[in-house]
Amino acid sequence: MGSLSTDYNTLEPEVQEKLKEFSDAFLAWVTDILKDGKQAGIFHFDESPRTRAVLIIAGMMAIVKLSRLTGEKDFNLIKRPSARTY
């Protein structure tokens, strides 16, 4: 999803539509997990589940690109705390 989104405007319309469908489904899936977890008292955050999902996905997409430039240590720096933070 992340690597294709950079070239979104150069993709064929059919591919754009499939990419959009996938990203919508992925966002809905993460949002549902966060919503259910928040309702169950597993996750604690102030923003809406969709906003939190967008923040998580944006962070995941960004760290992949950033770590290519700064090195794997930065990926691990983000990965470890995020895995424990609800």
CA 26-36-56 angle, to 5 degrees, is 45
Output the pLDDT for position 1.
Answer: 55
**Higher-confidence residue: 21 or 81?**
21
Q: What angle do CA 45, 50, 54 make, to 5 degrees?
A: 95
Could you read off the pLDDT of 2-43 as tens digits, one per residue? 555 667 788 889 988 998 999 999 999 999 999 999 999 999
Q: Is the pTM of this model over 0.85?
A: no
Q: What is the distance between the alpha carbons of residues 21 and 14, in angstroms, rounded to a whole number?
A: 11
Alpha carbons 48 and 39: distance in angstroms, whole number: 12
Q: Where are the domains of the chain?
A: 2-84
Tell me the one-letter amino acid at 37.
G
Round the average pLDDT of the chain to a whole number and report it.
83
